[in-house]
C-alpha cells in the first residue's frame, strides 16, 4: 500500500507555502519567497522518499500570486 499526505509536513521545520501581502510586493520579495518555498519543497520531497511517502499534494501557495496580473514573468 502506498500512503501520502496533503501539503504540510509537520515533522519538519520547513513550509513550502510562505507568502506575503500584495501591498508588500516587490520583485525581490517574490523571488526570495519562491526560492524559499522551492527549497523547502525539495527538502520535503527528499524526506518523503526517505520515509517511503510517495503521494504528496503540493500547495497552490508554492508561487505566491501565481495567477495575479502583477506577475509579469
Tell me which of 1-5, 7-11, 26-30, 48-52 is least confident. Answer: 1-5
Measure the CA–CA gap between 29 and 25, rounded to whole angstroms.
6
Residue 39: the pLDDT is 97
Q: What is the pTM of this model?
A: 0.85
**Dist. CA 36–CA 52, nearest whole Å:** 24
- Confidence (pLDDT) at 7: 72
Between CA 39 and CA 45 the distance in angstroms is 10
pLDDT value for 71: 85
pLDDT tens digits, one per residue of 14-68? 999 999 999 999 999 999 999 999 999 999 999 999 999 888 889 888 999 999 9
Amino acid at each position: 500500500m502506498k500512503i501520502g499526505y496533503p501539503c504540510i509536513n509537520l515533522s519538519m521545520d520547513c513550509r513550502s507555502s510562505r507568502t506575503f501581502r500584495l501591498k508588500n510586493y516587490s520583485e525581490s520579495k517574490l523571488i526570495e519567497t519562491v526560492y524559499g518555498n522551492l527549497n523547502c519543497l525539495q527538502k520535503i520531497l527528499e524526506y518523503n522518499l526517505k520515509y517511503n511517502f510517495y503521494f504528496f499534494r503540493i500547495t497552490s501557495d508554492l508561487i505566491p500570486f501565481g495567477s495575479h496580473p502583477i506577475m509579469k514573468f
